[in-house]
A and B are shown apart, each in its own frame.
Chain A
Amino acid sequence: MRTSDKERKGISSGLSEKTKDRISAYLYISPFFIIFAVIGLYPALFSLYLAFQSWDGFSPMTFAGLQNFQIVLTDPLFWKSVYNTIIIGIMGTAPQIIVGIILAFLLNLAMLRWKHFFRVTIFMPYITSLVAVALIFSVFFSSNETALANYVLGLFGMDPINWKTSEWGTKIAISLMVFWRWVGYNTIIYLAGLQSIPNELYEAATIDGASKPQQLRFITVPLLKPFIILTVFFSTVGALQLFAEPTVFLGSSAFSRDEAMTVVMYLYRDAFNLQSFGTASATAIILLILIVVMAAVNTYLSSGMGRKRGKKA
């Protein structure tokens, strides 16, 4: 009885049912947009506005035109921070992609036993927080001459390095912690990619007489390409946003030294240590442009990688 009532209603007022569905749909997608408007869009637009103002957070803002951009772009420390971010980004993420592909290839071999064990251990670093990683490595690479890292160097007959104050020491230590935490994550993504390649493809290639390296070259790498592009994109965006690792690694000297100051640290220091919110916002805009450009360039380069592999390596 009830059902047929509803049915009749549905037929007689088909339009109102449609309208009802539309209202429901808009209602259901609205929470995201409402929250985004308040804590995403408004702050982003306000940053854009603030980048052209001079403001210390208390006194009234004054229009500054392009002055903030000029201050930032002529500040040697800003360029140092860009340089640091890029160097650490390259050293921390490029090896990840190569090592990740190799590990995924090994983990995908049919003959391998304890597959799952290896997968779990290699992935495990990813579950540690950035702060935990930075602290563990800050003890491993402590500023003492007797730091474990220096002991290891000593085994190879090398002189101890001051990992907290030297130009390359800090960068190597920070790159290594980025590498350590993320390489397993990338491996898992590549592994998922490898597993999506149907076995028949390899079987057919084997029947046609293709060797294993040929299969790797002509089946695995091309089909893995979308996954490589994805990780290159993520790594590029992530590397340019580096903040927690160097800040926690360096501790009290994080904002007073320049060996490992990243762009986001430069931004943070301007805003919350120096109360120069206008220049900090200008830095945020420059960072946005930097991220968009570098992500586009790297994604483009990695999508052309399959063809020019030999030359690039």
Chain B
Amino acid sequence: MNNVEEKKFSIGKAGVYALLILASLFALFPFYWMFVMATRPSAAYNSIPPVLLPGDQLVENFQNVIDKIPFFQSMLNTLIVCLAATIVVLFISSLAGFAFSKFRFPGRNGFFIAILLTMVIPPQLGLIPQYFLIAEFGLLDTLFAAMILFFLNPLGIFLMRQYINQSVPDELIEAAKLDGCSNFKIYRSVVLPIILPAFATLGIIVFTMVWGEFLWQFTVLRSPNSYTIQVALASLNSTTNIDFGMVMSGVFWSTVPLIVVFLLFNRLFISSIAEGAVK
């Protein structure tokens, strides 16, 4: 009797692992396949059965990418846009979060709700006027144009307020006030050091989001030298006679840095995304 139950249980256990391994393979295969493609000549895609092992064209394919698009420039542009947007969002959000958490002022709840409500406006609604606004100021095709839309992050203010509520005691603020600190000094030397972990969380959310952004940058960036990597990669696929090896090489090398960072900080990454959505 006991034996039967144990057997049943281990079959269930095997099923659990089988499902999870299947899900993992499904998740990982495109990554692996991208790598295989990045090492093969374009003709490899026409072979039957398909090639599933890496070839020897890793360098050649990447050389072709560099010949076609300013790869490193695009990566650098993306990095600048992502970092700038992240820093601005962290600053604006923590300052506003501090105000909403520790100050009493008329309209506090109203302003806070207004910020949350801006989340429901779809980004496409303002796309056309935003484009003309940027054009009006002569900012088309600049990195500033590529980043400015991402300075707005209602979720960031929400997360920062929550975090400050939980982790910065009112007494600490009072004590600093009695010591004669100005409000901004309190923000800088009392609040900021305490909320650094929340900066990591929000920073990852913003950085990943801006890194993957496409529609807006596709709209305002016009010349290859100001392309972010997403726009540059998309341009690889816009001709009719596509060198798949080259395209995959571009995708591969632009994804590798992100994979490395993700694997290094995977716990932080996963908890950030979960917190950002669940809070």
Q: Which residues of A contact B (CB under 8 A)?
A: 2-3, 6-7, 10, 20-22, 24-26, 28-29, 31-33, 35-36, 38-40, 42-44, 46-47, 50, 57, 99, 102-103, 106-107, 109, 111-112, 116, 118-133, 135-140, 142, 144, 146-148, 151, 180, 184-185, 188-189, 191-193, 227, 230-231, 234, 237, 240-241, 243-244, 247-248, 251-252, 264, 267-268, 271-272, 277, 280-281, 284-285, 287-288, 291-292
**Contact A248 B234, CB 8 Å, known A44-B126, A122-B24, A180-B30:** yes
Tell me if B4 is interfacial: C-beta within 8 Å of chain A: no
Q: Are A139 and B99 in contact (CB under 8 A)?
A: no
Tell me if B8 is interfacial: C-beta within 8 Å of chain A: no
Complex alpha-carbon distance, A285 and B122, angstroms: 10
Q: Is the interface of B mostly helix, strand, loop or mixed?
A: helix
**Contact A40 B121, CB 8 Å, known A139-B248, A272-B219:** yes
Number of interface residues of B (CB under 8 A): 99
**Contact A132 B254, CB 8 Å, known A31-B95, A118-B24, A137-B30:** yes
Q: Are B180 and A3 in contact (CB under 8 A)?
A: yes
Other than A10-B178, A106-B19, give 12 A-B pairs with Cβ distance below 8 A: A2-B180, A121-B27, A121-B28, A124-B262, A125-B30, A251-B237, A251-B238, A251-B239, A251-B242, A252-B237, A271-B127, A284-B127
Chain B residues with Cβ below 8 Å from A111 are 13
Complex alpha-carbon distance, A287 and B183, angstroms: 43
Of the stretches B43-51, B54-62, B192-200, the one at the interface is B43-51
Q: Are A192 and B133 in contact (CB under 8 A)?
A: no
Tell me if B277 is interfacial: C-beta within 8 Å of chain A: yes
**Contact A106 B16, CB 8 Å, known A25-B105, A127-B208, A131-B233:** yes
Best-buried of A38, A122, A131, A230 by chain B (most CB within 10 Å): A131
Complex alpha-carbon distance, A271 and B132, angstroms: 11
Tell me if B157 is interfacial: C-beta within 8 Å of chain A: yes
Complex alpha-carbon distance, A119 and B27, angstroms: 11
Q: Are B151 and A139 in contact (CB under 8 A)?
A: no
Closest chain A residue to B9, Cβ basis: A111
Chain B residues with Cβ below 8 Å from A99 are 23
Task: Provide the B100-133 mask, 1 if CB < 8 A to any CB of A, else 0.
Answer: 1001111010010001001011111111111111
Best-buried of B124, B126, B219, B242 by chain A (most CB within 10 Å): B124
Complex alpha-carbon distance, A305 and B203, angstroms: 35
